């Protein structure tokens, strides 16, 4: 088998293994070299498997961080020797070492709070790898066991080591099974574990002075976890209290806003009523068509009123028995034209102020009497006057569309063409 061979003497010296201890395990150095070379040749493939496992674990939101590694080749040989020294009956070979060494692939999952472990545990157990069926919960003596009772087998460690271990079988490119170990611990357990491993492992694990010191450090680590959990609970209580205070303030603000809205609604209703009244007034004003005085009428407008002269002449002729001609007839027509327009406005019921309004106050009948009196030099009274007024009244019609006065109506308004 090709590859770089390990030097036995240098290796034993480097890893503090005594020659007589090694000789007791009855394991040929050549076999260890074969394992070493085989492992070196498959490390790249094993690292690819590790990358895929880490990618899956990163999908779990409760995981704070992940540390992962493929076991160093020399450390693999060292572990085989030490395990063989501790357990002489243990059998190891090039065919089974990947299945016997349970941490060739090592993944450490770190969370911030103890409570996160339950959710992460569920996620890990759903990974689509073949489990060895063993989940080991390592705790310190005195730790509460209840949070871990539904996870796995609880193992109390004298050293105070805390961590949950999962073992899964994964397959390498050659189809051989490799054991992957996943460790789950809090960030404080990780800190203590790293310090302990760096200082004591593997040569000072039984030193009594260090053991006492690390027991204190371990208790401090556990206390830090408890304080972290307490702090998180305290933050939740403070947040809840603040929300309650904010809710009280918001309720007060809501009541104030409701009162303001009620006042504004009242004002809006008032404004709507006023607006409606103003619209009604505007419609009434727009419905009034003011007739200009005769003196200011255009030529076309005067033509539209020209029938008044003929109407008057015919009315007086039919009443007196003869026509009024010459200056008297012209004077009568001109004098009564504006009076008729104003009298018609009065009969429509429109209220118009100013000089025109004063003129509207006069009735059609009195206006005619005054006009005839000024033209003839005397008034027309009795049956003649009454006949004259009735004749004029029956000869006029008002357009419902444009309010134009039509004399001698022919069923059509002379201004807009509307049916009378």
Q: Are residues 216 and 198 in the same domain?
A: no
Q: Are residues 30 and 130 in the same domain?
A: yes
pLDDT of residue 231: 75
Domain at 74, CATH number:
3.30.460.10
Q: Are residues 273 and 319 in the same domain?
A: no
Pairing of strands 130-140, 163-171: antiparallel
Name the least confident of 259-263, 306-310, 384-388.
306-310
Q: Are residues 272 and 334 in the same domain?
A: no
pLDDT of residue 174: 78
Q: Are residues 133 and 15 in the same domain?
A: yes
Note if the pTM is more than 0.75.
no
Query: Is the pLDDT confidence value at 38 over 70?
Result: yes
Q: Are residues 162 and 15 in the same domain?
A: yes
Task: Please tell me which residue, 180 or 269, carries the higher pLDDT value.
Answer: 180
Q: Are residues 117 and 65 in the same domain?
A: yes
Per-residue pLDDT of 290-314, as tens digits, reads: 444 444 444 444 444 444 445 445 5
Confidence label for 262 from pLDDT (cuts 50, 70 and 90): confident
Domain contains 1: no
Domain contains 124: yes
pLDDT of residue 266: 84
pLDDT of residue 381: 54
Domain contains 3: no
For residues 344 and 352, what is the distance between their CA atoms, to the nearest angstrom?
12
Q: Are residues 13 and 37 in the same domain?
A: yes
For residues 63 and 52, what is the distance between their CA atoms, to the nearest angstrom?
16
Q: Which of 151, 180, 206 is the last residue of a domain?
A: 206
Tell me which range, 95-109, 133-147, 304-318, is most confidently predicted by mean pLDDT.
95-109
Strand-pair partners of 154: 137
In the structure encoding, which two tokens stand for residue 89, read together? 């009956």
Per-residue pLDDT of 100-123, as tens digits, reads: 999 999 999 999 998 899 999 999
pLDDT of residue 246: 75
By CB neighbour count within 10 A (0-12 exposed, 13-18 middle, 19+ buried), where does 106 fall? Answer: middle
Query: Is the pLDDT confidence value at 10 over 80?
Result: yes
Say how many domains are in the chain: 3
Per-residue pLDDT of 56-89, as tens digits, reads: 999 999 999 999 999 999 999 999 999 999 999 9
What residues make up the domain containing 165?
8-206
Domain contains 417: no
Q: What is the DSSP letter of 25?
A: T
């Amino acid at each position: 088998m090709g590859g770089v061979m390990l030097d036995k003497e240098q290796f034993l010296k480097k890893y503090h293994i005594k020659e007589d201890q090694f000789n007791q395990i009855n394991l040929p150095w050549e076999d260890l070299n074969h394992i070493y070379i085989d492992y070196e040749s498959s490390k790249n493939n094993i690292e690819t498997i590790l990358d895929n496992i880490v990618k899956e674990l990163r999908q779990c939101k409760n995981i704070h961080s992940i540390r992962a590694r493929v076991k160093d080749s020399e450390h693999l040989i060292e572990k085989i020797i030490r395990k063989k020294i501790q357990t002489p009956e243990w059998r190891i070979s090039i065919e089974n070492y990947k299945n016997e060494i349970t941490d060739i692939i090592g993944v450490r999952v770190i969370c911030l709070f103890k409570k996160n472990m339950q959710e992460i545990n569920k996620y890990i157990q759903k990974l689509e790898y073949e489990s060895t069926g063993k989940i080991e919960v390592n705790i310190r003596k005195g730790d509460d066991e209840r949070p871990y009772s539904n996870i796995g087998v609880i193992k109390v460690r004298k050293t105070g080591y805390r961590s949950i271990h999962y073992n899964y079988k994964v397959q390498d490119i050659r189809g051989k099974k490799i054991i992957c170990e996943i460790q789950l611990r809090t960030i404080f357990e990780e800190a203590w574990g790293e310090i302990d491993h760096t200082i004591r492992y593997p040569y000072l694990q039984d030193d009594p002075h260090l053991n006492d010191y690390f027991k204190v450090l371990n208790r401090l680590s556990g206390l830090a976890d408890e304080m972290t959990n307490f702090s998180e609970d305290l933050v939740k209580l403070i947040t809840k209290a603040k929300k309650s205070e904010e809710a009280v303030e918001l309720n007060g603000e809501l009541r104030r806003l409701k009162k303001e809205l009620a006042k504004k609604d009242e004002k809006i209703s008032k404004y709507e009523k006023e607006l409606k009244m103003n619209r009604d007034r505007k419609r009434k004003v727009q419905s009034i068509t003011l007739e200009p005085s005769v003196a200011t009428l255009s030529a076309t407008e005067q033509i539209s009123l020209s029938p008044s002269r003929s109407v008057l002449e015919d009315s007086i002729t039919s009443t007196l028995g003869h026509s009024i001609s010459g200056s008297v007839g012209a004077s009568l027509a001109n004098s009564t034209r504006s009076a008729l327009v104003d009298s018609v406005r009065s009969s429509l019921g429109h209220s118009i102020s100013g000089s025109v309004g004063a003129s509207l106050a006069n009735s059609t009948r009195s206006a005619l009497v005054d006009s005839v009196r000024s033209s003839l030099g005397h008034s027309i009274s009795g049956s003649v006057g009454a006949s004259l007024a009735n004749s004029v009244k029956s000869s006029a019609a008002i357009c419902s569309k444009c309010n134009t006065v039509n004399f001698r109506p022919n069923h059509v308004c002379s201004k807009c063409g509307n049916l009378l």
